[in-house]
Amino acid sequence: MPVTLIILAAGQGTRMNSDLPKVLHRIGGAPLLAHALAAGSALGPEKVVVVTGHGGAEVAAAAREADPEVRVVAQAEQLGTAHAVAQALPELQGMTGDALVLYGDTPLIRPETLEALREARARHAVVVLGFEAADPGRYGRLVTAGDRLERIVEFKDATDEERDITLCNSGVLCADAGLLAELVAAVGNDNAAGEYYLTDVIGLAVQRGLSAGVVTCAEAETMGVNTRSELAAAEAAFQARARDEALENGVTLTAPETVFFALDTIVGRDAVIGPNVVFGPGVTIESGAEIRPFTHLEGCHVSRGATVGPFARLRTGAELAEDVHVGNFVEIKNAILDEGVKVGHLTYLGDAEIGERTNIGAGTITCNYDGVFKHRTKIGARVFIGSDTMLVAPVRIGDDAMTATGSVVTADVPEGAMVVARARQEVKPGFATRFFERLRAQKAAKGGK
C-alpha cells in the first residue's frame, strides 16, 4: 500500500536560544529534519511533504538537500499540529494509501518502528505511536480500553485521573490519507490553548465508529529536541546507537565510546576503527580497511585494505583505492589515490591524481591554489616524490619519474625522468663564525640587551 509522509517542521524552538530554526540543529552531522526524513524514506514513500514555518526558506533548502523530490508547504501561522497537517493536505489530493505524520524535531525514531505502525494500520483506521514514560510530565496521555485507543488528552486539559496514565503520546500518527483529511477538517480549537490539536482526530474517528490503535516503542526513540541540553542528549543517543549497529555489523571499534559517526556513515564488515576517530558526513569505509587513531574524515571513500592515520585528515573528494596507505599528519582533499599509493607523513595533497604504486615523500605539498583558482596536479604510476617537494599546479609528473628532495616543480616532468629544482649548494668557509662574532659584539656594545 502506498504511503505519504507529512513532516511537521514549522516550530521556532525558542528554548534553543538560537537564530537557527530548531529542526536545522544537527546531530550526527545532519539536521534533525534529515534524521526524520531518513527514517521515513525507509518506507519508500510515494510523496514527502514538509511543513515549514519559522525560517521557512532555510528549512525548505535543507529538506530539498536531503530529498530533492520533497514537497514544501508553509504554515504562516502556528495554530497547532492539526492546522499544520491541514497545510499539507492539498498535496495529498488524489493520493491513496496511508499518510504518516512525523516531526522534524524528533530524530531518533527507527524505521522498524514506523513499519510496525503501518502494519497496525491494517487493523485500525488510525494508529498512533505511544511509549511508557518514566516521568510522564506534560506529555499527552493515551486513554485506552483493551487494545483500542479511545482518545488522546493533552496534559493541560487532562483530569487528575488521566494525568496518572503513563502511556504517552509521541505525536506520530498513521491513517488512511483520505480519512485523515476528513478528520483534520473536523478538528476544532475549543481547548485551553485555543489550538487545533492533531490528537483530536482520534476522538473524532472513534465517534464515527472507527477503530483507533496504539503501537508502542522505547521512550528513547520519541525524544524531542527543544533545548540545547536535549540536543546534546540526542547526539549521545544517536552515537550510542550508531556504535552498537557498527559492532553488530562486524566492525571492530577498539574504543567505541570515542568514535563519532555521521547519519550517513557507511563502514564495511571487518573494518577496524581506532580510538578518537570522527566521521563527518559522506564517508564510506570498505570492508577490511583500517582507520587509525585521531583521524577525521568527511566526504571521502576508503577502499578495501587501505590504512589511514593516525592523525590524518581526509576531506571532501578524497578517493583512496585498495591498499593505499595514508600516514600521520597527512591531509587529502579532492584527490584520487590509485592502488598501492603510499603517503607516509606530513603531506598535503589537494586537487590531485596519484597513479598506482607511487610513493609520496614527507613534506610534499601540491600547491593547488593561486589565490583565485584551484589547479590540479597529476602524478603518474610508480613515481617517487622526494621529501619536501613543492608541486606548483597545474603540473604533470610522468610514470616512473622522480623528484629530488627539496625540489620546487613548476613544469611537467617526462616519464622516467628525474627533476632537480633547487638552488646549487654553496659553502662559505668560516662565515658562520664571523657572522655570530659580529652579532655578539653588537649586542655587547648595547649593554647586553
- Catalytic residue (choose from 83, 301, 345, 375): 345
* Three-state secondary structure call for residue 228: helix
Comparing CA positions, the residue from 404, 406, 375 lying closest to residue 392 is: 375
- Residue-wise over 320-354: b if at least 16 C-beta within 10 A, else e? bbbbbbbbbebbbbbbbbbbbbbbbbbbbbbbbbb
> What Å distances lie between residue 86 and 76, 182, 386, CA to CA?
12, 10, 67
Cell of 148: 483500542
Contact by Cβ (8 Å): 161, 141: no
Round to whole Å and give the CA distance between 374 and 393.
8
Cell of 151: 482518545
What are the Cα distances from residue 224, in Å, to 23, 102, 172, 231? 10, 11, 12, 9
Instruction: Determine the 3-state secondary structure of 345 from DSSP.
Output: strand
Whether 345 is catalytic: yes
One-character DSSP codes across 5-72: EEEEE----GGG--SS-GGGSEETTEEHHHHHHHHHHTT--SEEEEEEBTBHHHHHHHHHHH-TT-EE
Q: Determine how many CB atoms are found less than 10 A away from the CB of residue 148.
A: 12
Collapsing DSSP states into helix, strand and coil, what is residue 284?
strand
Q: Return d(Cα 305, Cα 323) in angstroms, integer.
A: 5
Q: Given the C-alpha cell 629544482, which residue does it identify? A: 421
3-state secondary structure of 74: strand
Of residues 358, 296, 299, the one with CA closest to residue 330: 296
Angle between helices 177-185 and 200-207 (to 10 degrees): 100
**Do the beta carbons of residue 311 and residue 326 sit within 8 Å?**
no
- Could you give the C-alpha distances from 16 to 163, 200, 230, in angstroms and in order? 27, 28, 9
Question: Annotated active-site positions, please?
Answer: 345
